[in-house]
Amino acid sequence: MGKVSSRTPYQRGSDAGQEGPMRTPKRLYPEERLIYHPELLTCPHCGDVLVMCNYLAWDKTVHMLDRVLSVASRPGRCPHSTCLGARMRLLSATAQRLAVPRSTYGYDVLVRIAWWRQESRAPYREIHAELASQVRISVSHVGYLYQQVYLPLLACHERQHRDHLAQIATAQGGLILALDGLAPQGGEPPLWCIRELTSGCILRSGWLAQQDQPTFEAFLNPLTHLEWPILAGLSDKQTGLVPAVATVFPNSRYQFCQAHYLRNLAEPLAAADVALQGELRKTVRQQVAHLLRQEPRTASSHAGGLTVTGL
Question: 3-state DSSP call for residue 142?
Answer: helix
Listed in sequence order, the residues at least 6 apart from 69 whose beta carbon sits closer than 8 Å to its beta carbon are 30, 31, 32, 33, 34, 61, 62, 98
Number of Cβ atoms within 10 Å of the Cβ of 79: 13
Q: What is the pLDDT of residues 192-237, one digit of tens each?
A: 888 888 888 888 888 788 888 899 999 899 888 888 888 888 887 7
What's the whole-number average pLDDT of the chain?
79
Q: What is the pLDDT of residues 88-136, one digit of tens each?
A: 888 888 888 888 888 889 999 998 998 898 888 889 999 999 998 888 8
Q: What is the pLDDT of residues 32-46, one digit of tens each?
A: 899 999 988 899 889
> 130-143: string of b/e by CB count within 10 Å (b at 16+)?
bbeeebebbbebbb
Q: How far apart are CA 58 and CA 103, in angstroms?
A: 10
Q: What is the pLDDT of residues 146-155, one digit of tens each?
A: 888 888 887 7
pTM of the model: 0.50
173-256 in CATH: which number? 3.30.420.10
